[in-house]
Each structure stands twice: as C-alpha cells, then as structure tokens.
C-alpha cells in the first residue's frame, strides 16, 4: 500500500476520506461540518499525490483526500505499557486491559499504537496483529515499513503459536481438555459474535490447569472474540466479560473489573532473522485489577 501523503503527527496518521466526486470543499463541509471547511481553507487537506486541496479543487468519485482528524474526548487508560523487547525491527509489549490496539471508533489517542509512537518516538510503528481492547498480554509491533509485511503475513498465515490464560468458573461435568470447533460470525455494527450452523471456522484447545478455575486456551484459528465465544458456549464464560453470554453496560471510566483473559505467550520463527522467538507476558491474572 502506498504511504499516506501526510506524515504521522503526534502519534497519529492522517485520515483518508474517499470522495463521492465533485467540488471537494462542498463535499467535506457537507459530510464533516465547519471544521473540515476550515482545514481546506487553511491548506491542511491534500490529495493522494500530496497536492494541497483548495476551494476550487474538483476530484472524481473514488478519489481520496487526507487530513488530520479532530480527536474525540477520551477517558485516559491509567495503565502503563511495559516493553518486553525492542530491536531494530520489532517492539513487543505487555498490553494492559482496557487499551485498544489501534485507533477505531471512540478510541484514538488512548490506544497502544498512538501511545507507543509518542512514548518511543517511532512514527512508523505498526501492529503486526491485534488484541481485543479488553484482553491484556503480548502484542507485537513492527518499527519500520520495510519489515511490516513480513511479520503481518506471519500472523495472517497462522504461523505464530499463541497461548492464552483465562479465569472462569469450573463445571465438574465439563470434560477437559477438549478441542472446541464452531462457525463464528461477527457482523458489522453488532457487539457480539455468534455461533452459526455450517462448516467450522474457529478452533480452540481448552485445558483446565488448576481446580480454582485457571484455564489455558490455545487458539488454532483467529476469529473475532473466538476465545470468549467458545468459553461461553461451554457454559464457563471468562470472568469479567461484559459481552458473553450477556451484554453488560460498563461506564468508560470503570477500570475495576477487567476481563480475565491474557495473551500469555507467542512463539514463532522470525521472518527476517530466522531465529526462534518467544515472548511471555508478566501479567498476573490474580492481580490484574491493579495492572
């Protein structure tokens, strides 16, 4: 993908807006209001080639312009992001609960990507994979555009072994270990993913490690909310889950009840160096209220 024609600024790249076609100033004003109009008039909007858009610019349908978005008001996530490893190609961190991996929706500046770009001074930092906002644990970023594709492909092809820990109730009648297979579908605009009839597209090995409800979860696929859906389907939803089996409305400033799910370990053969890599979280699920 071609780099954006505007650089990362204060940890955040520009927003790309695909146009319907016609005078750009009128369209941006109609879609985004007076703030977009002011950005055009101030010379802060550019086309895909980096040329400044002005009040006379007309672009065809499907063309794109770039501008820096107005940041929404966000509740600060009051937890640090410990760095587990850093070299010329990658940064591996121990992401806290409640922090999204990258900007989406109402979470922009309060995301691991933006905060790390600012804290580490790495404007090209990019996630090689994602963790849910409520899931803590090992998260890998690339530091340079040249190596980004190699690491993202590694995760996309399922060549990374991932191990999670979770806490949940114990059902003596539930036979474990077992491999859970189902078809999981997550629809845009719907909070919960659901299991539907059809060929399985999600597979998880579930093991009970201790009688007090510590589980090891080994996903063999990577569907959205897969581990949470599978544990709920077994009748032992993960402690602190506000989505499964039932949706619970949690205030955005409530950090007192984290989801007891931890991306505890990742293992892979490095696509750049060929070395075997292994990174392990320092989080403790028993004490995660205090991060």
Tokens 């008039």 belong to 41
Tokens matching residue 128: 């090689």
b/e 110-144 (16+ beta carbons within 10 angstroms → b):
bbbbbbbbbebebebbbbbbbbbbbbbbbbbbbbe
**Residue 44: CB atoms within 10 Å:** 16
User: How many residues comprise the chain?
Assistant: 291
Tokens matching residue 258: 């984290």
Question: Could you confirm whether 212 is annotated as catalytic?
Answer: no
> Which residue among the candidates 132, 239, 241, 282 is catalytic per the annotation?
132
Phi, psi (degrees; rounded to nearest 5) at 114? -70, -45
d(C-alpha 216, C-alpha 169), whole Å? 13
DSSP string covering 84-138, please? EEE-SSEEEEEEPTT-BSS-BTTBSSSBHHHHHHHHHT-TT-EESS---TT-EEE
**Residues noted as catalytic:** 132
């Amino acid at each position: 993908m071609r780099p954006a024609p505007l650089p990362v600024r204060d940890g955040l790249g520009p927003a790309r807006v695909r146009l319907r076609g016609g005078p750009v100033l009128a369209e941006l004003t109609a879609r985004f209001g007076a703030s977009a109009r002011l950005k055009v008039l101030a010379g802060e909007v550019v086309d895909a080639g980096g040329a400044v858009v002005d009040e006379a610019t007309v672009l065809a349908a499907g063309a794109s312009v770039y501008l820096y978005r107005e940041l929404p008001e966000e509740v600060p996530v009051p937890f640090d992001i410990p760095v587990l490893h850093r070299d010329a190609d990658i940064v591996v961190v121990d992401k806290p609960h409640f922090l999204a991996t990258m900007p989406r929706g109402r979470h922009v500046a309060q995301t691991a990507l933006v905060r790390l770009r600012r804290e580490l001074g790495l404007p090209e930092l990019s996630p090689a994979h994602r963790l849910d906002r409520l899931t803590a644990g090992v998260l890998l970023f690339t530091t340079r555009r040249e190596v980004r594709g190699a690491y993202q492909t590694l995760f996309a092809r399922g060549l990374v072994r991932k191990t999670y820990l979770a806490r949940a109730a114990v059902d003596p009648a539930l036979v474990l270990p077992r491999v859970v297979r189902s078809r999981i579908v997550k629809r845009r605009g719907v909070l919960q993913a659901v299991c539907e009839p059809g060929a399985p597209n999600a597979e998880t090995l579930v093991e009970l490690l201790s009688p007090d409800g510590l589980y090891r979860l080994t996903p063999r696929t990577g569907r959205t909310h897969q581990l949470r859906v599978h544990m709920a389907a077994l009748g032992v939803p993960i402690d602190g889950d506000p989505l499964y089996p039932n949706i619970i409305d949690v205030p955005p400033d409530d950090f007192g009840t984290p989801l007891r799910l931890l991306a505890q370990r990742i293992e892979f053969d490095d696509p750049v160096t060929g070395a075997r890599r292994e990174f392990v979280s320092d989080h403790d699920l028993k004490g995660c209220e205090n991060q």
